Every structure is written in structure tokens, then in C-alpha cells.
Chain A
Amino acid sequence: AQKVTQAQTEISVVEKEDVTLDCVYETRDTTYYLFWYKQPPSGELVFLIRRNSFDEQNEISGRYSWNFQKSTSSFNFTITASQVVDSAVYFCALTRHQAGTALIFGKGTTLSVSS
């Protein structure tokens, strides 16, 4: 069975601190995709990144970076020099490749960044 675990329920940091959000997944598939979504206080879901299981290169986008490690089944998300606008709920999700299933989401991590 597929499963996504985000062990950190809530994280609080002060502006400019770096913060890492953990995501651990379980799947028996060899081909799969991992996602991160952001949900700001306004409630909409914002797509951040997609990664396929064959691409273990880390990715950096501005202050955001992602560390994908198949050996530990983890897909962690780091925000460098956090800002108040980063305050949101962040979801990690998993889907099978070309299978008739929907995204499986973790329970989310609430990040609060104070000034």
C-alpha cells in the first residue's frame, strides 16, 4: 500500500531561519511521482514541485530546495532564509505512474514564520 508520512505537525521559526520539512513515503512501485503543495492561509492549494522516481537530483528554486533520497524513501523540502509569507500548510503527496489511482497526501506540516 502507498503511504506518505509527514511526522512534523507544526513548525515555528523566526524569519531568516532555514527550515526543513520532512516527507517519508512508502510504495512498492518502481515508478512513481512525488509532489509538494503549499496551502497558504487563503486556502487554495499551490503546486510547488514534481519529482519522478528515476530522478534523484536535488532541485533548487530560489529559496526552496528539495532533497530526494530513494535509499531512505524521503523527499524533504528546505526553505532557506524563511519569510513570513512562507507561513502555510505544506503537503507532500505520492502517485503511481500511469495507474488508475489518485494522489495520496500526507497529513501536512503547518509552518509558522514570525517576524
Chain B
Amino acid sequence: DADVTQTPRNRITKTGKRIMLECSQTKGHDRMYWYRQDPGLGLRLIYYSFDVKDINKGEISDGYSVSRQAQAKFSLSLESAIPNQTALYFCATSDPRAAPNTGELFFGEGSRLTVL
């Protein structure tokens, strides 16, 4: 089983619908992240969380919200999806207690979201 699991892997939805992407991890890492990938734009950070009580906006947080339900779970929500949120979404974790602490990310397999 993957250490970082994303569900769903693929989702097609309609404009205006609420959609949630879920991420769970078995790595025991405190830090979790949501990135969005668009062709030609690389990966851009949406939100990140350094522990259950800590939520931070990333580069492109507008139109998104997150919930850190537990150390192992970090969900990304689109309250009212729009077509330009069609993208590949990645969840990632990192371990600040690693020695050395390099900030290395461990990625899930991605969730492909299409908003019609």
C-alpha cells in the first residue's frame, strides 16, 4: 500500500458542485501539503499544514479550503468548482524531525479533477 494515499484518483464534476479530495498518510509525518499541477506551470502550492492545529495558505489558495482532521488526514475542498480548477492535484508529506531536515516531500499518486 502507498504511504500517501489520495482519493479519488479521478473525478469529473460540474461547475458549481462541491468536491472534496482526501489525503491520508501512514508515514507519521506532521507536515502535509496540497499542490496543484497544470501543464507548463509546474506544481503550485495551495495549502499546507505543519500540525493538526496549523493551516497555512500557499501561493494559490483562492477558491480552495482545507481541513486537517488528524495527523494522518488532510482534505482539500472546492466549495463551488469552476472549470479553471481542472488540474492534477497532489498531496504530499514531509518530516521536520528528519536528520537532516531537507524539506523533502513524499507525494501521493495524484488526483485528476475535471470540472465541466
Cβ-defined contact, B50 with A35, below 8 A: no
Which residues in window 18-61 of A have CB below 8 A to B? 33, 35, 43-45, 47, 50, 52
Cβ contacts under 8 Å, B43 to chain A: 91, 103, 105
Cβ contacts under 8 Å, A45 to chain B: 90, 107, 110
Report the minimum CB–CB distance from A64 to chain B (whole Å): 18
The answer for the CA separation of A103 and B45 in the assembled complex, in Å, is 8
Report the minimum CB–CB distance from B47 to chain A (whole Å): 10
Partner of A33, one of B33, B35, B102: B102
**What's the tally of chain A residues with a CB closer than 8 Å to chain B?**
24
Cβ-defined contact, A102 with B48, below 8 A: yes
Contact of A95 with B by CB under 8 A: yes
B 31-49 to A, binary, CB cutoff 8 A, 1 in contact else 0 = 0010100001111110010
Contact of A98 with B by CB under 8 A: yes
Cβ contacts under 8 Å, B104 to chain A: 33, 35, 47, 50, 95
Cβ-defined contact, A33 with B40, below 8 A: no
The answer for the CA separation of A108 and B40 in the assembled complex, in Å, is 7
Contact of B70 with A by CB under 8 A: no
Q: Which residue of A lies closest to B100 (CB)?
A: A52
Cβ contacts under 8 Å, A103 to chain B: 43, 103, 105
Contact of B84 with A by CB under 8 A: no
B 83-114 to A, binary, CB cutoff 8 A, 1 in contact else 0 = 00000101000101000111111010110100
Report the minimum CB–CB distance from B92 to chain A (whole Å): 8
Contact of A73 with B by CB under 8 A: no
Contact of A9 with B by CB under 8 A: yes
Cβ contacts under 8 Å, A102 to chain B: 33, 45, 48, 58, 94, 103, 105
Cβ-defined contact, B103 with A96, below 8 A: yes
14 A-B contact pairs sorted by A residue (CB < 8 Å): A6-B42, A33-B103, A50-B102, A50-B104, A52-B102, A95-B102, A95-B104, A97-B102, A98-B101, A102-B48, A102-B103, A102-B105, A103-B105, A105-B42
> Besides the contacts A107-B40, A108-B42, what 5 more A-B pairs have beta carbons closer than 8 Å?
A6-B42, A33-B102, A45-B90, A95-B102, A102-B94
